[in-house]
Amino acid sequence: MIYIFHFMVYCVNTCRGFFLHLMSKHSQGRTKMFEIISVVVILLLGILHYSQKSGSGRNLPGPSGVPFFGVIFQIDLNRLYIKLYEWTSSYGDIFQFSIFGKPYVSLNSADLIREVLGTEPNATITASREPSFLGEYCLENFSDVIFSPYSKEWSKRRKLVHRLLHSYGEGIQILENDVLQKLQRVKLYLAGNEGKDVDPHGVVEEFLFENLASLIAGTTDKELHLLMKEMDEVSNGVAMPVVDLIFRKFPFLMTLPFTFTKKPAYCKYMIDEIMRKVQKMSMEKEITHGMYYEMNNEEANGHQLTEKEMKCIMTNIIGAGFLTSRGTLMSLIHLLAEYPSVQSRVQNEIDDMIGQRDPHVTDRNNCPYTEAFIIEALRFIAHAPLAIPHYTLETCNIRGHTIDKGTTILTNLWTVHHSDVWGDPFTFRPERFMDDSGQLLPVTHPIRKRLLIFGYGKRSCIGEVFARNRTFLFLATLLQTCNVKKPSGQSLTALDPRNMMVGVVLQPQPYKVQFKLRK
């Protein structure tokens, strides 16, 4: 009862603070009012869920928490992956916990995740998604690929998107010239800012948005870039678990006259604006390539998508393609400056195998250390620490444990990539993926099989090949052009994945570096 008492004291203090703010600053009072509403709503949700508490994982180990609140007082929701990492050492590869009566099961090793998500019948049973406000309201009743529950319609959409992205992945020659053309603008930026202490996020974001615009619309446009950036920022705010839960249970909150409560409608509006912009560009410029054109071509695709499906799929591609790639490229630049000996080795390999000609996707096969550098960076930062949660379609059995229908399954990728099996998980060391002869370990090697950077199973990232190819082209072009140095006007704090900026996808803390052109 002491936890409930403290929680009620917090509610009273929050209300008192609100009225004081309201008397002094009206606008700040509105923000505080929404905080009160959020607290009350969360409390009501806790009571509601507690009355329907599931017995899922009842014979599993795990932290017990307190009645109806569960472990909510033991965790930071924004850094849940850190607490799961700590709990793994106590409870093992699989454990359960609850938050407001809702059951969660955490899978904490690569072997177990591969077993559950890759072996039937559990591969199908756990392949769904939890009902979400974002998917229902912003994505037209789950007309997308990422947040849609498991169904025949979802399967058709995923297969189509996989085929289209696959053609832009392993067969990236379709877009390779376009990517290289956009990298010329990166070179201009490097030349124009040589020797300056600069934050590279601006040039990285511009490069990514130009690529995403070409991918979905077949061409690029500054207005489209701004729309995508705005949509990405607001949708990530709406997608936060607690925010999503509040709006899902109490949609009437959207009628309240506060900035925060208007975000879902604004998110939906921005998605519609992107669709209208892409349609307009396609008609005016007579575009005959890009994903919108391909999805709109019934004869070529063999499956006619509705307009709302195309709109929501493009939203998925923008959301998934920007944040993950931004985190990756910003981390790579930081690591190059932090580890000059690693940078020299990657650069020497690129000089030897590519020289000064434009890099190509096929060069990846001849640059094993460069590949190891990228793979180790992805393991090290683990930028999607819990991926997107899975959801059980029916009751199943995992290693003798009964998991009820409607249980949220967390693939704990943070722990997978930072567990003790790596020996020194928080040390950046590309050599761990090289054999004694200097070649990249094959994907079948036990060490490589520990990697689940892009997820696993029916819900694995369908843009993996495209993302890897684009990252290689960016890195090769960058190191052909310049050396990445630490800034002169300030220190460069070591990149520690435990201190990265939290969110749906982790991001490095802001930093500055110098770019020195190679003679």
Place of tokens 């409560």: 261
Q: How does strand 390-391 pair with strand 408-411?
A: antiparallel
pLDDT at 428: 98
Separation of alpha carbons 228 and 213, rounded Å: 9
Query: What is the phi-psi region of residue 360: left when phi exceeds 0, alpha when psi lies from -120 to 50, beta otherwise?
Result: beta
Task: Decide if 408 contacts 389 (C-beta within 8 A).
Answer: yes
- The percentage of residues in the chain with a pLDDT greater than 70, rounded to a whole number, is 86
Q: Which of 25-39, 209-223, 462-476 has the lowest mean pLDDT?
A: 25-39
Instruction: Dump the DSSP string for 171-228.
Output: TTHHHHHHHHHHHHHHHHHHHHTTTS-B-THHHHHHHHHHHHHHHHHSS--HHHHHHH
CA distance 187 to 354: 17
CA distance 482 to 513: 12
Question: Which stretch of DSSP H or E encloses residue 107?
Answer: strand 102-107
| pLDDT of 28 strictly over 60 | no
Integer Cα distance of 260 and 238 in angstroms: 9
- Provide the 8-state DSSP code for 508: P
Q: What is the pLDDT of residue 24?
A: 46
Whether 436 has a pLDDT exceeding 60, the answer reads: yes
Closest CA to 212 of 201, 220, 200: 220
Higher pLDDT, 143 or 52: 143
Q: Which H or E element spans position 243?
A: helix 241-249
| pLDDT of the residue at 167 | 57
Q: What is the DSSP string of 378-420?
A: HHHH-SSTT-S-EE-SS-EEETTEEE-TT-EEEE-HHHHHHSG
Angle, alpha carbons 491-494-498 (nearest 5°): 135
Do the beta carbons of residue 147 and residue 132 sit within 8 Å?
A: yes
Extract the tokens encoding 300: 């070529």
Task: List, in sequence order, every residue forming a beta bridge with 105; answer none if it has no partner.
Answer: 96, 409
Cα–chain center distance at 394 = 27
The residue to which tokens 């630049």 are assigned:
333
Three-state SS at 357: coil
The DSSP output letter for 517 is: E
At 358, list the tokens: 């434009």
In this predicted model, what pLDDT tens digit does every residue of 465-484 receive, in sequence order? 888 999 999 999 999 999 99
Label residue 403 by pLDDT band (50, 70, 90). Answer: very high
**170 vs 503, more confident:** 503
State the CB neighbour count (10 A cutoff) for residue 262.
Answer: 15
- Per-domain boundaries in the chain: 109-124+131-382+419-517
Say which residues have a Cβ less than 8 Å from residue 352's Cβ, sequence separation at least 6.
none
Count the Cβ atoms, other than its own, within 10 Å of residue 260.
Answer: 17
Name the helix (H) or strand (E) containing 74: none
% of the chain exceeding 90 in pLDDT: 64
| CA dihedral of 416, 421, 425, 431, whole degrees rounded to 10 | -110
Q: What is the dihedral of CA 271, 275, 280, 283, to 10 degrees?
A: 170
d(CA 416, CA 263): 34
pLDDT in tens, 164-217: 776 554 445 666 887 888 899 999 999 999 999 999 999 999 999 998 998 889
What is the C-alpha separation between 33 and 465, in angstroms, rounded?
46
Model's pTM, two decimal places?
0.87
pLDDT of 42 reads 52
| Position with higher pLDDT, 40 vs 361 | 361
Cα–Cα distance between 261 and 71 in angstroms, integer?
Answer: 27
3-class SS of residue 40: helix
Q: What is the pLDDT of residue 56?
A: 56
CATH of domain 109-124+131-382+419-517: 1.10.630.10
Average pLDDT, stretch 69-78? 88
Structure-token pair, residue 234? 């607001």
Residue 321's DSSP bridge partners are none
The DSSP secondary structure of 360-384, one letter per residue, reads -GGGGGG-HHHHHHHHHHHHHH-SS
Q: Which residue has the higher pLDDT, 13 or 519?
A: 519
| Least-confidence region, from 89-93, 122-126, 298-302 | 298-302
Contact (Cβ atoms closer than 8 angstroms) between residue 331 and residue 484: no
Q: What is the largest CA-CA distance in the chain?
A: 72
User: Is the predicted pLDDT of residue 43 greater than 60, yes or no?
Assistant: no
